[in-house]
Amino acid sequence: MNEENNEIDQSADEQRENKIDPKDMELENFSEKDEEPSFSFVKKTGLLIFEVIKVVLISLAIILPIRLFLVQPFYVEGASMEPNFFQNEYLIIDEISYRFNEPQRGEVIIFKSPQDSRSYFIKRVIGLPGEKVKVKDGRIFINGQELAEVYINNFSSEDNEEIIIAQDEYFVLGDNRINSLDSRSFGPIKKTSIIGRVWVRGWPVNRFNTFNLPEYK
């Protein structure tokens, strides 16, 4: 009997030893000290990569819609807008305004070239839909009245016949009238070809500026 009691007692002791205490499973009882060094390194690296990916995705979710639908950068090429815009100046283009408003006279715009849709031009809006535009001795006449353009330094001496601008078109010219390929050559442009208006000049820093409509007398 004693041997049987001893066996029963030993069995009970073994069960108590093998029984898992719920308190032992609490997270605070575990620490990185119990982990293998290599596992701890992999864990930290994985968390770092996850955080980086999360930041990148959030940034793209914010930046991409702005870049695709609101504003985009543009570099000036050529001398057709001097002295107001020079080669390699960095501009920010407002792409959303013309979805709600029509282009205004005097605004500087970016549009697809009528001759090559892969190329872009920067010019100033001069003639609006329905207006009669004529170039005489390099000066612009709108509906018979000369347009006073204070932003022009170099006028040309050419003449162009009077034309009537269609309802969905705009007559655009470069500010450097003696060195600009514009509506005097390829005619008015379609509104659908306009990308947006020049909003900010970001570079060079000493020429940083935003652009308002010029005043016409």
Q: What is d(CA 90, CA 6) in angstroms, rounded to the nearest whole number? A: 92
Of 23, 38, 44, 123, the catalytic one is 123
Q: What is d(CA 173, CA 193) in angstroms, rounded to the nearest whole number? A: 15
Structure tokens given for 165: 């601008």
- Buried (b) or exposed (e) across 187-199, using 16+ Cβ within 10 A? ebbebebbbbbbb
The verdict on whether 80 is a catalytic residue reads yes
DSSP category for residue 33: G
The verdict on whether 38 is a catalytic residue reads no
Sign, CA torsion 101/105/110/112:
positive
Of 38, 80, 97, 193, the catalytic one is 80
Catalytic residue ranges:
80, 123
